[in-house]
């Protein structure tokens, strides 16, 4: 399910220094990305089921209704469906004719031992985790391992803002603000909120020289007309240097970096309920707020059309793959995590299943709720697009 906490996009913020993008490029890149992520995820379910001897009837990209059948092989139909928001594997139905359009809750998978069900359900999210690790490993092996210096590099310094008046320039490395190191980017917002209208000291590194600037946090307006009540008026991201690494080290760093980002996403999930409640605030969506397909498509457009956009595209793909890994393991009805919970209950009850009609009802209600949440988030994404609020904004 493509819903993402925007805090997970923080590593990509500097790559998207401008919010303008070609909608056709953004949509095309987003569909390519989503297709890859869905195919990888569903292949996990599909290949594991075949390996365990569980019959599969359909491998679908997108959600029904069906658009067309691409081909049929070994009794499996490979289809494209009209709702391009995910995918599914349809397992063979049992003798009672029960079945589930997404994961075959009443089909041959349901007749399998609980441990087999759990393996099949875990395999999809696990493939997304492995894909992210692979992408990062390839990027690190080719480009070097990004190593933070402890500062924040300024992307743009917007005109007529506190930052511009203070003399900040694009490319400056912000080392400290009000005497506080900025290795954690959240410090920038904290300093602004703690000193409205009061000058604070900033230490920056420019062309190898350390400079001291004085800046007063206050209101500023972006070139797109978005007004920020309190801030500095620059975009920024962690200052990193690329350190060359061999294949083994790059692979290991790909693994550890993926786990680190997953940890950030787990922490961001704690703020998700409050962020959902604030979806329709007239202010730009706060860091950590949820974004859906439209927001992700806009983020794709913001990064892919900037210098280094190809690399940023694959970074975003890996981040979204980690997002799918995490969300699909949550015990949310209709997602993999919910099926795992039902399998565990069956296992703990010595093979006694939850009545199929009750399980199907839980999944149906959960799926309807997810679609409702998706609609709310999509409306918010569209409103942000109309207002010109960038997905990867500045501070």
Q: How confident is the model at residue 340 (pLDDT cuts 50, 70, 90)?
A: very high
Residue 342: HSE in the Cβ half-sphere, 13 Å Cα cutoff? 27
pLDDT of residue 105: 38
Is the predicted pLDDT of residue 343 greater than 50, yes or no?
yes
What are the b/e assignments for 246-274, b being 16+ CB within 10 Å? eeeebbbbbbebbeebbebbeebbebeee
Quickly count: other Cβ atoms within 10 Å of residue 18's Cβ: 15
Residue 253 in this model has a pLDDT that exceeds 60 = yes
Cα–chain-centroid distance for residue 197? 35
User: How many CB atoms sit inside 10 A of residue 224's CB?
Assistant: 13
CB 294 within 8 A of CB 5: no
Cis-peptide, bond into residue 65, ω within 30° of zero? yes
pLDDT of residue 103: 37
Give the pLDDT score at 216.
92
Helix (H) or strand (E) holding 391: none
The predicted pLDDT at position 138 comes to 94
Min mean pLDDT across 97-106, 241-250, 270-279 is at 97-106
pLDDT at residue 160 greater than cutoff 80: yes
Pick the residue with more confidence: 27 or 88?
88
Residues 259-285 have pLDDT tens digits of 988 888 787 776 666 555 555 555 554
Residue 372, Cβ density class (10 Å: 0-12 exposed, 13-18 middle, ≥19 buried): exposed
Whether 76 has a pLDDT exceeding 60, the answer reads yes
- Average pLDDT of the chain, as a whole number: 79
pLDDT, position 185: 85
Is pLDDT of 201 > 90?
A: yes
User: What is the biggest distance separating any 2 CA atoms in the chain, rounded to whole angstroms?
Assistant: 76
Q: Between residues 284 and 133, which one has the greater pLDDT?
A: 133
Domains of the chain: 4-141+288-330+341-353+373-387 (no CATH), 147-242 (2.30.42.10)
Model pLDDT, residue 141: 93
Show the 3-state SS of 249-280. HHHHHHHHHHHHHHHHHHHHHCCHHHHHHCCC
Beta-carbon count within 10 A of 336 CB: 28
- If pLDDT is split at 50, 70 and 90, which confidence band does 18 have? very low
Confidence of residue 301 (pLDDT cuts 50, 70, 90): low
Could you write out the DSSP letters of every residue in 59-128? EEEEEEEEEEEEEEETTEEEEEEEEEEEEEEEEPB-TT----TTT-TTBHHHHS-HHHHHHHHHHHHHHH
- What is the predicted pLDDT for the residue at 101? 37
Whole-model pTM over 0.75: no
Q: Which two tokens stand for residue 316?
A: 């975003």
Token duo for residue 156 = 């743009």
CA distance 56 to 49: 7
Quick one: tokens of 305? 């059309």
Residue 234's nearest CA partner among 309, 306, 169, 283 is 169
Among 45-54, 241-250, 379-388, the minimum mean pLDDT is found in 379-388
Q: pLDDT (tens digit, 9 = 90+) per residue, 21-44? A: 566 766 777 778 888 888 899 999
Q: Which residue has the tokens 């992210």?
A: 132
- Of these ranges, 183-187, 200-204, 374-378, the one predicted with the greatest mean pLDDT is 200-204
Can you give the pLDDT at residue 96?
43
Output the pLDDT for position 335: 81
For residues 137 and 108, which has the higher predicted lDDT (pLDDT)?
Answer: 137
């Amino acid at each position: 399910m493509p819903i993402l906490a925007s805090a997970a996009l923080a590593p990509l913020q500097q790559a998207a220094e401008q919010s303008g993008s070609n909608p056709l490029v953004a949509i095309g890149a987003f569909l390519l990305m989503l297709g890859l992520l869905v195919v990888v995820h569903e292949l996990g379910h599909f290949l594991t089921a075949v390996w365990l001897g569980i019959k599969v009837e359909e491998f679908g990209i997108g959600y029904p209704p069906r658009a067309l059948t691409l081909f049929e092989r070994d009794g499996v139909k490979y289809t494209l469906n009209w709702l391009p928001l995910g995918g599914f594997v349809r397992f063979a139905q049992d003798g009672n004719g029960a079945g589930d359009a997404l994961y075959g809750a009443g089909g041959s998978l349901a007749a399998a031992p609980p441990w087999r069900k759990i393996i099949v359900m875990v395999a999809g999210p696990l493939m997304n985790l492995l894909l992210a690790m692979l992408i990062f490993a390839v990027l690190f092996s080719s480009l070097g391992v990004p190593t933070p210096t402890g500062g924040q590099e300024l992307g743009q310094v917007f005109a007529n803002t506190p930052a511009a008046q203070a003399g900040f320039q694009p490319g400056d490395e912000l080392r400290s603000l009000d005497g506080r190191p900025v290795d954690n980017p959240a410090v920038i917002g904290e300093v602004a909120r703690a000193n409205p209208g009061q000058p604070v000291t900033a230490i920056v590194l420019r062309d190898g020289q350390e400079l001291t600037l004085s800046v007063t946090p206050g209101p500023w307006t972006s070139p797109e007309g978005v007004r920020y009540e309190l801030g500095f008026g620059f975009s920024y991201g962690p200052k990193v240097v690329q350190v060359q690494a061999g294949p083994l080290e790059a692979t290991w760093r790909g693994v550890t970096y993926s786990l680190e980002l997953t940890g950030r996403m787990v922490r961001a999930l704690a703020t998700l309920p409050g962020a959902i409640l604030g979806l329709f605030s007239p202010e730009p969506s706060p860091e950590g707020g949820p974004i859906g397909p439209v927001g992700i498509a806009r983020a794709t457009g913001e990064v892919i059309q900037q210098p280094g956009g190809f690399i940023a595209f694959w970074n975003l793909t890996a981040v979204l793959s980690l997002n799918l890994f995490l969300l699909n393991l949550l015990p949310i009805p209709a997602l993999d995590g919910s099926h795992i919970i039902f399998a565990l209950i069956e296992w703990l009850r010595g093979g006694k299943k939850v009545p199929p009609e009750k399980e199907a009802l839980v999944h149906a209600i959960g799926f309807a709720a997810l679609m409702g949440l998706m609609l709310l988030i999509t409306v918010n994404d569209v409103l942000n697009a109309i207002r010109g609020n960038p997905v990867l904004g500045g501070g």
